């Protein structure tokens, strides 16, 4: 789901005021300037955009792609419209 | 303060309804300009009393998006005032012993807007989640902590909350850290940003806010005048760089004034009603600490909230402490212009007191048109007055009864 990564990347670029092209799926969050609290803040904003609710993640969130994967998984579980398409 | 080190002010910074630099604040203060005006925002039409003294500052001009995401307005004020104070002192935090540098800050309500935004989301918008930073933005000690983090200040970091005397207490206690040799440099002051819908409504309910002067809303706060009707809420911050006299001299710093006395006492009587005995105790404690006779004080920057009770009580307390000299010294309330900055009031008014000493010019009590027999001192009514001032006192009193009084000496 390319769009989720794109959304996460835009949110991060906006927060850090950096060029979003510098953010790749493998970018490590702490290396680009996001600590764990900043990451929760990004997830919080993504929750609003996607209309989903993210429980405290079980797996370690390390890269930008990890954030996107977490959101994708929840989108499948929580979004009625997407479930209808399955 | 015998056997202790002398403490001097070498830096000042301010965010206030009268401007966001000490220079602008001073010019407006001495010219009697009022920063009180009608609020025009998304809730002002729902207020019974829609005037306040707000600070005009654009956070995005001073902080990055990432910083703003975690900085409540109260912390933005404090950080900006702290940067000004350090610049003014000519002090680079990377060149000082930061282990012996601390930050004491006073605030009444801390991150009031963040608290309120959280409640708004939960109770009004019926959402079930809050921003991850809500706790960190709302907590009272956030502002002082951000200053410590920003400049790497590893010394003591304490936030004082004694309502309207918070920052006077913070500055007074910070001066003791230097006087007793625990620290060499302190950033001290206060910050307040409580002009939110819920907070103003709570103040309305307390019935201590000034009625709007319909002819001239800017003149609604009328300390010591017979037609005074209450206080006007304000917001802002002021921060000071305090250091030992020896340190200031050694590095050739400009000394703005010396803190020669600090006293605090509690009314121990009523949660809102001030007491003559309590206020007098705090002023006497400061005089004793300074080792000064009452006759040596030339000017008092009064707490002077503009409420009927405070101004009469403070006048009586001044008479009790100063005796016949009460009629010789000058007293003024600058809240008539910048409003009541609550937890930041003592700090902002200590800037006004310092400027009075530097310029040998007393800031006026504005909008004092009707003499009150209960308030019969010399209040520097409506115009700044040139006067020789060697020692000046700044009074801060508070709901909860804690008074904080600081005495400055001209440098």
pLDDT digits over B18-60, tens only?
999 999 999 999 999 999 999 999 999 999 999 999 999 999 9
Read off the pLDDT of residues B102-116 as tens digits, 9 standing for 90 and up.
Answer: 999 999 999 999 999
Q: Is B129–A17 a contact, with Cβ atoms under 8 angstroms apart?
A: no
pLDDT tens digit string along B268-327?
Answer: 999 999 999 999 999 999 999 999 999 999 999 999 999 999 999 999 999 999 999 999
Residue from B196, B64, B50, B181 nearest B120 by CA: B196
> Which of B65, B129, B132 is the closest to A14 by Cβ?
B65
CA dihedral B246, B247, B253, B257 (to 10 degrees): -60
Chain A residues with a Cβ under 8 Å from any Cβ in chain B: 14-17, 33, 37-38, 40-41, 44, 47, 53
Partners of A40 on chain B (C-beta within 8 Å) are 132
Distance CA A42, CA A26 (A): 17
In chain B, the percentage of residues whose pLDDT exceeds 90 is 99
Q: What pLDDT, on the 0 to 100 scale, is given for residue B226?
A: 98
**What is the rounded CA–CA span in Å between residue B74 and residue B132?**
18
Portion 18-77 of B in contact with A at CB < 8 A: 64-66, 69-70
For residue A44, give the nearest of B64, B70, B131 by CB distance: B131
Q: What is residue B178's three-state secondary structure? A: helix
Q: What is the mean pLDDT of chain B?
A: 97
The residue among A15, A29, A61 with the most chain B CBs within 10 A of its CB, best to mutate, is: A15
Nearest of B81, B95, B194 to residue B144 by alpha carbon? B81
CB atoms within 10 A of CB A6: 12
- Report CB contact under 8 Å: B131, A38: no
Whether B131 has its CB under 8 Å from any CB of chain A: the answer is yes
Give the span between the Cα atoms of B83 and B398, in whole angstroms: 28
**Sequential pLDDT tens for chain A (86 residues):** 568 999 999 999 999 999 999 999 999 999 999 998 899 999 999 998 888 888 887 788 999 999 999 999 888 887 665 544 44
CB contact under 8 A, A33 and B66: yes
B336 pLDDT exceeds 80?
yes
Give the number of other CB atoms < 10 A from CB of residue B372.
Answer: 18
Q: Can you read off the two tokens belonging to residue B166?
A: 């918070």
Tell me which residue has tokens 């977490």.
Answer: A70
In order of B140, B175, B185, B362, the CA distances from B161 in angstroms are: 8, 17, 22, 29
Report CA torsion sign: B88, B93, B99, B102: positive
Q: How far is CA B293 from CA B1, B3, B323, B357, B407, in A?
A: 14, 19, 11, 19, 12
Predicted pLDDT at A2: 61
| B259, containing H or E segment | strand B257-266
Contact A33 B136 (CB under 8 A): no
In DSSP terms, which residues pair with A28 in a beta bridge?
Answer: A63
**What does the pLDDT read at residue B116?**
97
B1, B137, B367, B383, B407 from B158: Cα distances, Å: 23, 17, 37, 38, 22
Four-residue CA torsion sign, B4, B10, B13, B19: positive
* Residue B408 to residues B85, B151, B186, B240, Cα–Cα distance (Å): 18, 27, 17, 13
How is residue A54 annotated by DSSP?
P
Distance CA B147, CA B75 (A): 8
Q: What pLDDT shows up at residue A84?
A: 46
- Helix, strand, coil content of chain A in percent (nearest 5): 65, 0, 30
Q: Which of A16, A40, A53 sits opposite B66 (nearest CB)?
A: A16
Contact (Cβ atoms closer than 8 angstroms) between residue B167 and residue B234: no
**What tokens appear for B238 in the block?**
């002021």
Q: Annotated active-site positions of B, please?
A: 164, 303, 340
Looking at the complex, report in whole angstroms how far the Cα of residue B62 sits from the nearest Cα belonging to chain A: 14
- Partners of B64 on chain A (C-beta within 8 Å) are 17
**B131, A33: Cβ pair inside 8 Å?**
no
Whether B219 and B213 have beta carbons less than 8 Å apart is answered as yes
pLDDT at B5 over 60: yes
Total residues found in chain A within this entry: 86
Tell me the C-alpha distance between A53 and A51, whole Å: 7
Mean pLDDT score, B327-352? 98
C-alpha to C-alpha distances, A74 to A82, B61, B91, B341, nearest whole angstrom: 11, 37, 51, 47
Dihedral sign computed on CA atoms, order B88, B290, B346, B404: positive
- Here the tokens at position B112 are 């009031």
Chain A residues closer than 8 Å to B136 by CB? 37
Check residue B252 and give left, alpha or beta (phi > 0: left; psi -120 to 50: alpha).
left
Is the pLDDT confidence value at B1 over 50?
A: no
Residues making up chain B, counted from first to last:
411
Other CB atoms within a 10 A radius of the CB of residue B294 amount to 18
What single DSSP character describes residue B92?
-
Return the DSSP state at B91.
-
CA atoms of A56 and B132, how far apart (whole Å) = 12
Sequence-ordered list of residues with C-beta below 8 angstroms from that of B392, at least 6 positions apart, any chain = B297, B298, B299, B300, B301, B353, B356, B357, B407, B408, B410
Q: Is the dihedral of CA B328, B232, B396, B337 positive or negative?
A: negative
- List the single residue in B with minimal CA-CA distance to A43: B132
Interval B361-388: pLDDT, tens: 999 999 999 999 999 999 999 999 999 9
B5 to B176, B178, B245, B247: CA distances (angstroms):
9, 7, 7, 10
Q: How far is A21 from chain B, CA to nearest CA, in Å?
A: 18
**Residue B132 to residue A33, Cβ atoms within 8 A:** no
With an 8 Å Cβ cutoff, is B268 touching chain A?
Answer: no
């Amino acid at each position: 789901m390319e769009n989720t990564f794109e959304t996460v990347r835009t949110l991060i670029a906006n927060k850090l005021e950096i060029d979003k092209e510098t953010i790749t799926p493998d970018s490590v969050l702490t290396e680009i300037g996001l600590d764990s609290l900043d990451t929760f803040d990004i997830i919080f904003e993504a929750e609003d955009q996607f209309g989903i609710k993210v429980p405290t993640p079980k797996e370690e969130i390390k890269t930008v792609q990890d954030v996107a994967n977490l959101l994708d998984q929840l989108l499948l579980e929580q979004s009625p419209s997407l479930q209808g398409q399955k | 303060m015998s056997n202790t080190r002398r403490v001097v002010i070498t830096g000042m910074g301010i965010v206030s309804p009268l401007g966001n630099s000490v220079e602008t604040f001073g010019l407006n203060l001495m010219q009697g300009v009022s920063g009180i005006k009608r609020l025009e925002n998304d809730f002002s039409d729902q207020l019974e009393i829609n005037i306040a003294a707000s600070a005009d500052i654009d956070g995005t001009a001073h902080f990055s998006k990432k910083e703003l995401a975690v900085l409540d307005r109260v912390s933005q004020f404090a950080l900006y005032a702290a940067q000004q104070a350090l610049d003014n002192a000519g002090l680079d935090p990377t060149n000082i012993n930061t282990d012996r540098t601390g930050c004491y800050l006073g605030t009444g309500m801390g991150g009031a807007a963040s608290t309120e935004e959280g409640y708004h989301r939960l109770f009004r918008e019926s959402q079930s989640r809050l921003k991850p930073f809500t706790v960190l933005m709302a907590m009272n000690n956030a502002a002082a902590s951000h200053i410590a983090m920003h400049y790497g200040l590893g010394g003591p970091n304490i936030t004082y909350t004694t309502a309207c005397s918070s920052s006077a207490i913070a500055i007074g206690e910070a001066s003791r850290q230097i006087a007793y040799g625990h620290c060499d440099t302190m950033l001290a002051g206060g910050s307040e940003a409580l002009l939110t819908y819920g907070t103003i409504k709570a103040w309305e309910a307390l019935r201590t806010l000034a009625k709007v002067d319909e002819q001239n809303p800017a003149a609604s706060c009328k300390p010591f005048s017979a037609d005074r009707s209450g206080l006007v809420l304000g917001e802002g911050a002021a921060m000071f760089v305090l250091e030992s006299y020896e340190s200031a001299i050694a590095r050739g710093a400009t000394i703005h004034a010396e803190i020669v006395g600090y006293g605090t006492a509690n009314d121990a009587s009523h949660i809102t009603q001030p007491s003559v005995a309590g206020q007098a105790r705090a002023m006497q404690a400061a005089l004793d600490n300074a080792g000064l006779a009452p006759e040596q004080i030339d000017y008092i920057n009064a707490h002077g909230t503009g409420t009927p009770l405070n101004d009469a009580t403070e006048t009586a307390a001044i008479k009790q402490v100063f005796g016949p000299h009460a009629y010789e010294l000058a007293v003024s309330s600058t809240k008539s212009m910048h409003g009541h900055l609550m937890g930041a009031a003592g700090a902002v008014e200590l800037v006004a007191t310092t400027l009075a000493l530097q310029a040998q010019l007393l800031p006026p009590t504005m909008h004092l048109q009707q003499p009150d027999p209960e308030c019969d001192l010399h209040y520097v009514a409506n115009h700044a007055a040139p006067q020789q001032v060697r020692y000046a006192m700044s009074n801060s009193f508070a709901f909860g009864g804690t008074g904080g009084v600081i005495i400055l000496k001209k440098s």
